[in-house]
Amino acid sequence: MFRYIIRRLIYMIPVLIGISIIAFITMYAAGDPIALIKAGKPNITQVTLEGLKRYYGLDKPLPIQYLSWLSNILQLNFGNSLYGGRPVNDIIAPRIWPTIELQVVSLLIAFAISIPIAVQSARKPYSKQDVTITSLSLFGVSMPTFWFGLILIIVFSFSLGWFPSAGSQGVAGFVWWGNPLLDQIAHLILPVAVLVYVSLAQNIRLIRANMLEVLRSDYVLAARASGLSERKVVYGYALRNAITPALTFLGIALGGMIAGAPMTEYVFSWPGLGRQYVASTINLDFPTIMGITMIITVMTLIANLIMDILYVYIDPRVRIR
Amino acid sequence: MKTENSALNKTPKRRSASQWAVAWRRFRRNKAGVAGLIIVLAVVFVGIFGDFLAPYPAYPNLGALTPFNHGDVRTPPSLKYPLGTDVGGTDVLSDILHGTKYALYVGVVVTIITMAIAIVVGAIAGYFGGWVDNVLMRITEVFLVFPSLLFILVFVKVLTVGAGVGSSINFLGLSIPMGLTIVVLVLAIFNWPGDARMIRGEFLRVRELEFVEAERALGANNRRIIFRHILPNILSSIIVVASLTIAYAILLEAGVSFLGFGDVNTVTWGQILENNFSDMRIVWWAEVFPGLAILITVFGFNLLGDGLSDALNPRLRD
Amino acid sequence: MTETLLKIEGLKTYFFTEAGVVKAVDGITFDVRKGESLGLVGESGSGKTVTALSVLRIVPKPGRIVEGKIEFNGENLLSKNEKEMQSMRGREIAIIFQDPSSSLNPVYNVERQLRDVLTAHEKKMSKEESHRKVLELMNLVGIPESEYRMREYPHQFSGGMKQRVAIARALALQPTLLFADEPTTALDVTIQAQVLDLLEDLKKKMGMSLVMITHDMGIIAKMTTRVVVMYAGNTYEIAKTEDLYEHPRHPYTASLLAAVPRLDRKKTLSIIPGNIPNLIEPPSGCRFHPRCEFATKKCEETPPVLEEVEPDHFVACYEWRNITLKGESSK
Question: In this complex, how many residue pairs, one in chain B and one in chain C, have their CB atoms less than 8 Å apart?
Answer: 31
Say what the pLDDT of residue B101 is: 87
pLDDT of A225 above 80:
yes
Q: What is the mean pLDDT of residues B287-316?
A: 84
- The 10s digit of each residue's pLDDT in A60-94 is 666 777 777 777 767 766 666 666 667 777 888 88
Touching subunits for chain B (3+ Cβ pairs under 8 A) = A, C
Of C94, C107, C109, the CB nearest to A315: C107
Predicted confidence at residue C167, as pLDDT, reads: 92
Most confidently predicted of A117-126, B89-98, B236-245, B296-305: B296-305
A203: number of Cβ within 10 Å: 24
Q: Could you give the CA distance from residue A118 to residue A130 in angstroms, rounded to a whole number? A: 9
Q: Could you tell me the pLDDT band of residue B7, with boundaries at 50, 70 and 90?
A: very low
Condensed to tens digits (0 to 9), the pLDDT of residues A113-154 reads 888 888 888 888 888 888 888 888 888 888 888 899 888 888
Q: Rounded to a whole number, what is the distance in Å from the CA of A227 to chain C's nearest CA?
A: 4
Give yes or no for residue B27 having a pLDDT over 70.
Answer: yes
pLDDT beyond 50 at B66: no
A-proximal residues of B, 225-244, CB under 8 Å: none
- Nearest chain B residue to A41 by CA: give it: B161
Neighbours of chain A (3+ CB pairs under 8 A): B, C
pLDDT of A292 > 80? The answer is yes
Q: Which residues of chain C have pLDDT under 50?
A: 330-331
C39 contacts C226 by C-beta, under 8 angstroms: yes
| Model pLDDT, residue C331 | 44
Give the residue-averaged pLDDT of A181-203: 84
What is residue C18's predicted lDDT score, i.e. its pLDDT? 75
Q: How many CA atoms lie within 13 A of C61 on its CB side?
A: 11
What secondary structure letter does DSSP report for C304? -
| DSSP state, residue B12 | P
Q: Which residues pair with C212 in a beta bridge?
A: C39, C180
Q: What confidence category does residue B299 fall into, taking pLDDT thresholds of 50, 70 and 90?
A: very high
Q: From chain A, pick out residues whose CB is under 8 angstroms from the CB of B147.
A: 255, 258-259, 293, 296-297, 300
Distance CA C1, CA A179 (A): 84
- ipTM field: 0.82
- By CA distance, what is C275's nearest residue in B? B8
Percent of chain B with pLDDT over 90: 12
Q: Does B116 touch chain A (CB under 8 A)?
A: no
Q: What percent of chain B has pLDDT over 70?
A: 79
Q: Decide if C62 and B4 are in contact by the 8 Å CB cutoff.
A: no
Task: Identify the pLDDT of residue C209.
Answer: 93
pLDDT-derived band at B72, boundaries 50, 70, 90: low
User: Cβ separation of C103 and A221 shorter than 8 Å?
Assistant: yes
Which residues between 289 and 328 in chain C have a beta carbon less than 8 angstroms from any beta carbon of chain B? Answer: 289-293, 295, 300
By CB atoms closer than 10 A (0-12, 13-18, 19+), residue B15 is: exposed
Chains that touch C (3 or more CB pairs under 8 A): A, B
Rounded Cα distance between B23 and B308, Å, is: 8
A18, A263, A300 ranked by CB distance to B255: nearest: A263
Cβ contacts of A297 on chain B, cutoff 8 Å? 145-147
Helices (H) and strands (E) in chain B, counts: 12, 2
Q: What is the pLDDT of residues C150-174, one digit of tens each?
A: 888 888 899 889 999 999 999 999 9
Read off the pLDDT of residues B195-234 as tens digits, 9 standing for 90 and up.
888 888 888 777 777 677 777 777 777 777 677 677 777 7
Q: In 3D, which of C97, C234, C233 has the Cα closest to residue C165?
A: C97
* Cα–Cα distance list, C91 to A226, C164, C213 (Å): 8, 18, 20
What is the spatial distance between Cα A98 and Cα A78, in angstroms, rounded to a whole number?
A: 20
